[in-house]
Amino acid sequence: MGFKNVEFKELWPTTIACGTWDSLELVNHILTTLDMNNLQGEVNGFNIFENDSKELTEFRDTAYTAFDRYLYYSTGKHISDYKSHTMKGWITGHGEDYSMTIHNHSGAHLSAVFYAMAADQNSGGDIVFTDPRANANRGYDDWFDPMFKQHTHTPKTGDWMVFPSFTYHHVNPYFSRMRICIPVDLYLHRD
């Protein structure tokens, strides 16, 4: 008795898209028009896309394109296939000793982080993605660790990442003076 037609299927993959963009014009705009010591976040209802400056309009188009490519790759659909959508973005990741505990972006469909300024790669601040399958590693010995390995990314200026909003992630402490990260959430509406 032998095996025939053996297949290996990747079930429940979590795709993360990574890319780069030229962020210099946006960084200059942020540093000259916003008070970096008094930034508002999404908790306060702040949305960077409510500003209609040329630089932020171009950035909104960049974020839209990144989300649309991810959506098409993972589902075969475009954002335009939905009746409407909402994007919310805010600035974070600035200041010495910045970190973020493990979280996801509940309620959004897709999330992204755009590193507008991240010049110091030797000061921590890595973003770390964890396996979204809660307790999937329960009962396995360390030989199975590659199946549950965290994905760590050390950001550079101009890097961006798009991922499903359910994906848990955290940011390790950042020990430098300043960097500018812009998380963005995409909400898709079918009706």
Identify the CATH number of the domain in which residue 82 sits. 2.60.120.620
Is the pLDDT score of 139 beyond 70?
Answer: yes
Separation between Cα atoms, residue 183 and residue 159, nearest integer Å? 12
Task: Say how many domains are in the chain.
Answer: 1
pLDDT at 1: 62
Summarised one tens digit per residue, pLDDT across range 69-107 is 999 999 999 999 999 999 999 998 666 678 889 999 999
Let me know if 159 is exposed, middle or buried by CB neighbors in 10 A (0-12, 13-18, 19+): buried
**158 lies in some domain:** yes
**40 lies in some domain:** no
pLDDT at 95: 67
**160 lies in some domain:** yes
Summarised one tens digit per residue, pLDDT across range 147-172 is 888 899 999 999 999 999 999 999 99
Global confidence as pTM: 0.89
**181 lies in some domain:** yes
**5 lies in some domain:** no
**39 lies in some domain:** no
**144 lies in some domain:** yes
Range of the domain at 75: 17-33+45-189
**10 lies in some domain:** no
pLDDT at 41: 66
